[in-house]
Structure 1
Amino acid sequence: MHGFYRWSNKWWPGIIPLALLWALAGWNSTQPLEADLAARSNQALKNTVLDKTRISVAGRDVSFAAQAFSEEGRRSAVASVEAAPGVRLVNDETRLVAEAKPFVWVAERDNVRVTLWGTAPLPASKARILEAARAALNGTEVSDRMGMARGAPARFDAAALLLVDQMSKLKEGKIVLSDIGVSLSGMARDLGGREAIAAALKNLPEGFVVASNEVKAPPYIFQANKDPVAVTLTLSGYVPDNNAHAALAAAAGRKFPNEKIVDNLKASIGAPSGFTAAVTSALGALSRLSTGTLVVSDREIKLSGDALYEAAAGQIRAGLTRELPLGWTSKPEISVKPAAAPVDATVCQQLFAQNLTKGRIRFESSSASINADSAGLLDRLVETAMRCPSTNVEIVGHTDRSGAEEFNQELSEKRAQAVADYLVKAGLPADRFTAVGYGSALPIASNDTDEGKAQNRRIEFVVRP
């Protein structure tokens, strides 16, 4: 008996390592089996559309968790795992993706990036929208914050892709798709962008509607800069059409006869009503400045620069406001150019001649009324007269040969007097000026052509010490 106990005490300690070896062998054989079942289960799901899929295997039992986008898809996915070779039991932990009510998708743009958020119905939808956004926005950063949910309206993808394309036309703004309703807000990138977006929205898939479109057009900008050093007038910005372009270019040529016109204007829709008339008037005001800038933004006119003398500054401010069409506003910032140094009679005569070399004082047809286009030229003549205060000036009127000689004589005298009155109104002494007229008696060109007649209709300044 004692011998048996001694034998048993020696035998049982050997069982422990044997059990460990048996367990290790079992573990080593189970691990490859579980990995194989996990691979088979995942392979069974390759053609399913799921989110957040998770597979774990214990022996031959599979725990399967995922979010499905439909009940049919969920059941099909579970059945696929159950049918995988070697699977004994499936622990079904699948759920349906949450349903969004309302189903909202948003694209939002700021100065830095475009952010996509809200919900997409499927991973493939999300990928298509993101790819389309990056293609349409040409290098602009696209931030993806889209989630996924059930409940999208039919033809969601087509609607979202069309709306993504509109983001390229926005400088900043937001597009919201809520169920079948589309809402837009923000600022169009270019003139015409607002209209282009509105036209594109007409192609929304059937069933979708535009709930609101508050996209604004950028300001309609026209600019003119007068540079006395380069002797140029530079026009830039927009005009409504080719006819308005031609009219404003012609007006600039008449009002700025001594300047080279640099025309960088482009035609674009979106001009406010009264645009051409307002800009023409504003160009006239700019022509009276020594140096200046005109900025037309929608219905607001900003004019800044130096008038040639004090009285002109007041006239320009008042005239700009008075002549604008209804609904337009002006912001004149007019200072007065410092008085130029005095000159003697000879230089004074040269300055008068230079001013009248390219430009001529214009009058209404068969009238002594001075055309508004000549205001800038007349102001330069005023400035010249102010530089030679000790001289007297004879203002001489001439006409072409059209009409009766007596009428032409009287017309030439009245036109000369109208110019003298302009100078006196500017603040110069009336006794310095004498107005005379010679009718058509002293032509400088042939009266047989329109060009020659235009040269003969003239005002001359003769300086008397």
Structure 2
Amino acid sequence: MRLSSIIVFASAFGVAAGACLVAASFAVTLIEDSSEIGVRDALDDANMAWAEVHADGLQVFLTGTSPSEVLRLSAQTSASAVVDAARVINNIEVTATRKLAAPHFSIEILRNDSGVSLIGLVPASTDREALVKTITTLAGSSGTVTDLLETADYPMPDGWSDALDYAERALKTLPRAKISVDANRVAITAMSDSPAEKRKLETDLRRRLPGDLKLELAISAPRPVITPFTLRFLIDESGARFDACSADTPEAKERILRAAKNAGLKSTPECTIGLGVPSPRWARAAETGIKALTELGGGSLTMADADISLIAAQGTAQAAFDRIVGETEAALPEVFALSATLPPAPNAGDQGPPEFVATRSPEGLVQLRGRVTDEQTRTIADSFAKARFGSAAVYSAARIDDTLPRGWALRVLAGIEALSKLSNGAVTVTPQNITVSGNTGNPTASDEISRLLADKIGEGGDFSINVTYQKQLDPVLGLPTPDECEAEIKDILATRKLNFEPGSATLDASGSAIMQDIAEVLKRCGDEIKMEIGGHTDSQGRESMNLQLSQDRAQAVLNELRSRRLLTSGFTAKGYGETSPVADNDTEDGREANRRIEFRLIRPEPVKPVQTTLEAAEAAADSDAESPTVLPDDEGGDTGSGDEDGPADTAPPEEQSDSN
């Protein structure tokens, strides 16, 4: 009885529990379904069909991929409006956005007398501290460096390092400038003290330009002050030409050149625009003078400030000369004064005028010949020439003639000074004329000589100038490029090999002359050139001894250059031993070829893009070493003797020594 009662009660509780479980399960399912349907409807109403809804008990899970972070949060807000926000679990992902483009990196370097300012955005990998330190050194004690740079953590663009390094080097020579630096491009805006300085700066900056870097130059120069303000125009048997041309404005220049073309000028000469004009009517005076010379049929027109000298061609009719001179005097603007000369007809019995001749050879040797008035004039002329050209370069052979006209000494000194403006040529001084002819590397030499003679010999003095500008004589444009320097040294060593004494780093007797020729090439190459002097040996002897000998020989060549007062801060000496043969070491000719010295131009390292660690490792594994440019040069030399190993070492020590 008792057992039956327990069973009945237990059964009743079991049935009740089962009913409760069924009811609870039904309630949970009802809640899940209603929550899921409600949230689904809310999301559909909000046009978020991309969102998925899944209810698990009281929690509602949102999944799917949202087009943006904003829509992801909006989906959560819509779901929270239907069920308690604490029950919403937001597992929505966001569509991957495109990788943000790197910003535009650039630096503006502004330099003036008060200091340097750095403005711009640079990659985080740029050594900003080193950059500021370098700029601070350039600024010196006269200015401060203001660092206004910002950084961004993006890869360094290609060409950035090259551009920045070039800008630093350019800043050394530009005390007043704005330098804009971008990847693969540098733009320089600067001021120079003169047109000549501008030309030199432009040439130097272009010569230093590395690789594919683009350079934009805008260097301005003030107009030169021309003293005296000079114009010289001639018409003779060779045609019409300018020896000198000056103008105060571009419009004046055009008027003067137009008048010259009307007079028969065929070429388009340089006409310097400068300061110092004696009158704003300079162009009108020049036009009037050129027209008068044209009507005379030949002669010379010289304008020095407000003084105008008109010398007619020999044989011009007196009546025509008087008429044209009178009309010209009336037409000239105020301030200008005209001096006109009609040379007399030559005397048949005349044996020629006395003369003084100064010549300068391409090697720089100067000879003074002809006549001077007295011993004092001869001494002064000799001293003046030695001061201009150097004592060792002047040879004087002038004789004394006390019948020379007044002013002869002044004309002689003016002629010597004119000669100093030529690389080579001659000056002939006569009582009526000074003739200057020759070659120069200065494109404005003709103008300078004209101004000089017009100022020295005064009103009415006649002179003629036939000066040719040659680019190779130009101390700026005539400089060889680094590649040309390398090629010139290669040409020297192609036919004249540097040899050393056996087993040593001492050049033989012929080495000094060869080194002098190499030094002369390098002197013309400037101080910025960077070269490696590499020493090489053949394979005879121990490898360690060969390596040391090649290093000693390369250093000996570098020391030879230094002893000739060359700046060698950009030069390095490196021994390669027997590691880079250019011929077979099994033959005597091959060993001779392998004993050498090579001059190799050091070029800027190419800028590599920033890589990940894995990419860098792969690139290092796949890259090939760049082959150096080889120039046949000094003989590098093998060892003299030693305990050699292997087949090549079986010969006695004296047979293993360097044959040179």
Instruction: Give the TM-score range, shorter chain.
Output: 0.3 to 0.5
TM-score (norm 2): 0.26
TM-score (norm 1): 0.34
The answer to which structure has the higher strand fraction is 1
